[in-house]
Amino acid sequence: MHTEQIKKMKTLISFLPKAAAYFFILLFCYAAVSKLLDYENFQVQLAQSPLLSAYAATVAWAVIAAELFIVILLAFPATLRAGLYASFGLMVAFTVYIYLILNYSDFVPCSCGGILEKMGWTEHLIFNAAAVLLSIVGIWATYCSGTTAEFQRMRFTRPAIILLLIAFFSTAVMIALFLSSEHIIKEGKEFTRRILPHPLVEQEVLNLEKGGFYIAGYSEDELYLGNHGSPLEITTVNLSSRNIRSNFLHIDDKGEMYRMLKIIVMAPSIYVYDGTVPVIYKGTVGNTATTEISRNQAYFNQIAVTNNAGFIIRTRSSSTKEYLLGLLHPDSVPALQLREGVLEKQVDGVFDSDGQLLFDASSDQILYTYAFRNQYIVMNSSGQILRKLRTIDPFDKVQITSISLSNGQHKIGAPALRTNKLQAVYRGILFNISGVMSKSESRKKWRKSTVVDLYRTDRQEYIGSFYLPFSNSVSGILVTNDFFFVLNGTNLNIYRYRDVIKKHFDRGSRKPINRVGKSL
């Protein structure tokens, strides 16, 4: 190669580091400033990342600081090469991050904002890879600005080793963050929600024309509703025709003063119960007649029907007035089996043990979710404790003040923080409406929405969360294989799942490890 040609080539190559520097200065300046101007949204986006959820706050500031620091390095000739090396490292980290998102995460979140907000994840990956190549070219060009002899030798060894070390370090850091964040989030060790992308598709909204409804049960193509204002009325919603019809059940009340009659449908059976009056009636779907199957066997304030025609109940101890769980089998002797100590007392044994009793017919398991602390119990249908698990919020102690009255009643002395508000369970997946806003969560979004957290019941694992587009009006939810039902005021919202949720039904329904603990 002639000397003149080499000079021309050197002139061209000498411009490459500057061109790369201009590009990265523009890119990182815009990215850092846009993140600072909308910092809350940027932090929320990181919190929804399947890779960085647990470190959202730290990573948010670290990324902004790194981008601005690199801009400073690139702005001065003496530190330009160092700036290009730093740009290479950061872009490798971003590229590895996207690769892990696309190939190893449980779901692919929505695209991030900023300069690349119109790109999908694959386009991001291509853009980042191109930026990595540009930084390599810029670095190589800085080593080609010496003498003609040095230029002709084209030294590659030293920059190649440095680039390999930086690439290894950036990749290792991202993989470590991914693995540790996954462990922290799924184990519930960091109160950060992971919002699942587009988990539901709304099928229909049915206007029930009046309020007071609660979900009584479900069978194949029909949803059954009870009504607090009309206790013996059962409303059936046909999901194929969307026809809504109501009937009234008949019971032999024997002059009893019922205070809280309710209905449970576990097709083909219908159960009518009160609890304040110790009575249970049984009928069949499509027939308004009922037969008394239990009387004076147990008082209770919550009940769930199990697969073996028995009941799990929550009652109160006649001596301590604390909540207890028990098994009720009307045809057995004795009909009721109580065990103290299953519900763990923290303050008064009443409000601190309050919660929701559930039965997962698909996995034949009983659940009890505490209302004022981050715990739920999983039991088998015989009442043996299998696991004690946690929700992701940090409140393992109840945040209430209880006052004992002279007549034995308990009152809450101050407004209580209700951690777990409403639940449903299906095929080993717990759907929990939470009452606590998490770290890195948008306060505006929180106020306008109802958040539902998903957990596995076979082990300690948080799956993710999604928002319902209404707040403080959800009175009931039900999970089935095909539908997610929400009672919202006078409306019944019917949703179908996307795969991001549906795939977990199969995982959650696998036979769990049987860690039998204290028996009921």
Q: What is the DSSP string of 56-89?
A: HHHHHHHHHHHHHHHHHHHHSGGGHHHHHHHHHH
**115-149 burial by CB neighbour count: b if 16+ within 10 A, else e?**
eeeeeebeebbebbbebbebbbebbbbbbbeeeee
The DSSP call for residue 196 is: P
Q: CA 244, CA 221: separation in Å to the nearest integer?
A: 12
pLDDT of residue 108: 61
Q: Confidence band (pLDDT; 50, 70, 90) for 333?
A: confident
pLDDT of residue 217: 93
4-21: average pLDDT: 69
SS3 183: helix
At 456-470, the pLDDT tens digits run 999 999 998 999 998
Q: Report whether pLDDT(79) > 50.
A: yes
pLDDT of residue 307: 82
3-32: average pLDDT: 76
Q: Confidence band (pLDDT; 50, 70, 90) for 508?
A: low
pLDDT of residue 252: 84
Q: Report whether pLDDT(152) > 50.
A: no
pLDDT of residue 273: 93
Q: CA 111, CA 19: separation in Å to the nearest integer?
A: 28
At 347-373, the pLDDT tens digits run 766 778 889 999 998 888 999 999 888
Backbone conformation region of residue 112, classed left if phi is above 0, alpha if psi is from -120 to 50, else beta: beta
Minimum mean pLDDT among 162-166, 287-291, 411-415, 446-450: which range? 411-415
183-194: average pLDDT: 68
At 389-438, the pLDDT tens digits run 999 888 888 766 555 555 555 555 445 678 899 999 999 999 999 988 88
Q: Confidence band (pLDDT; 50, 70, 90) for 118?
A: low
At 209-243, the pLDDT tens digits run 888 999 999 988 899 999 999 999 999 999 888 89
Are 412 and 399 within 8 A, CB to CB? no
- Of residues 198 and 496, which shows the higher confidence score? 496
Q: Which residue has the tokens 């059936």?
A: 236
Give the side-chain half-sphere CA count within 13 A for 211: 5
pLDDT of residue 149: 47
- 429, two tokens: 């997946």
- Of 84, 50, 258, 65, nearest in space to 166 by CA: 84
Distance of CA 208 to the CA centre of its chain: 29
Minimum mean pLDDT among 110-114, 272-276, 339-343, 497-501: which range? 110-114
- 224, two tokens: 């059954």
pLDDT of residue 12: 58
Q: Confidence band (pLDDT; 50, 70, 90) for 519?
A: very low
pLDDT of residue 366: 92
CA distance to 48, 81, 192, 202, 462, per residue, from 437 (Å): 14, 45, 9, 24, 16
Burial of 425 by CB count in 10 Å (0-12 exposed, 13-18 middle, 19+ buried)?
A: buried
Q: CA 132, CA 91: separation in Å to the nearest integer?
A: 6
Q: CA 485, CA 494: separation in Å to the nearest integer?
A: 5
Are 73 and 90 within 8 A, CB to CB? no
Q: If you average pLDDT over each of 99-113, 180-194, 318-332, which comes out highest? A: 318-332
pLDDT of residue 53: 66
Q: How many CB atoms lie within 10 A of CB 354?
A: 22
Q: Confidence band (pLDDT; 50, 70, 90) for 514?
A: very low
